[in-house]
Amino acid sequence: MPAHRRTTLLLTTAALVAVASAAMLVGGLASAAPNPAGNNGTIKVDALPFDDASNNEPHVDCSFQVDFYGFDEGDLTADVTFEAHPPTGPVQTLLTDEVFIGEDDNSGGGSEAGLDASETYTLDFGTITPHPQQGFHVKLTINAEGSQGADTKHKVFWVTPCPAPTTTSTTTTTLPPPSSSTSTSTTTTTEPPASSSTSTTTSTTEPPASSSTSTTTTTTQPPASSSTTTTTNAGR
């Protein structure tokens, strides 16, 4: 092979290697970007006992968790909607919520390392009648901010009815003591004495029968013969 052809071949090979390396570098940078394009993130329904494992459990207890994995980083939230789903009752909204999901980038994806948030829920089914074996059929819808393109995710699962609350009824009856009659009935009959005529004694003071006033008048008179006799003796 002529020397100039060998040189041309070497230059072409080197150029191809450079292009391939550059493409690999660009691809690596794109994959390392915090928010790659697409509808990133996934949700899982978690039954008791709660954990961070990324498995989905379609039959849960009265209280359960929803786990969010691999969502984009930023000031991003997810709108959460729970609906009653046939065959247990007509479609109706049971609960809505908003969950922050932008704590970190989507590295880790749907694995335990990619967990962004977990929220615990207890739904009120009102007058809906549960299935006798399965419980209540529920549809979960997530609308996540930051998704490029479709931003909706769904899960359908069964929820066990909550135990009926225990009602304690206390009746207190207060009875009076056996002979604790408080009312004392006293009948007092006042009758006049047998001969209770009122005797009035009138004292009339009258003067004595001969209560005449006797007046004694004393008159002093001279003696009857109160003459003075003078005897003259003549000497003879």
In this prediction, residue 212 carries a pLDDT of 42
Mean pLDDT over the full length of the chain: 75
How does strand 77-84 pair with strand 92-100? antiparallel
Q: Name the CATH architecture for the domain at 42-159.
A: Sandwich (2.60)
Q: Is the dihedral of CA 55, 59, 61, 66 positive or negative?
A: positive
- Across 82-105, average pLDDT: 95
Q: Which residue has the higher pLDDT, 36 or 16?
A: 36
Distance, CA of 67 to CA of 44 (rounded, Å): 5
- Cβ–Cβ under 8 Å, residues 117 and 70: no
Token pair of 118 as six digits: 């977990």
All structural domains of the chain with their residue ranges: 42-159
pLDDT of residue 46: 96
How does residue 2 score in pLDDT terms, banded at 50, 70 and 90? low
For residue 127, the model assigns a pLDDT of: 94
Structure tokens belonging to residue 17: 């290697």
The answer to whether the predicted template modeling score (pTM) of the entire model surpasses 0.75 is no
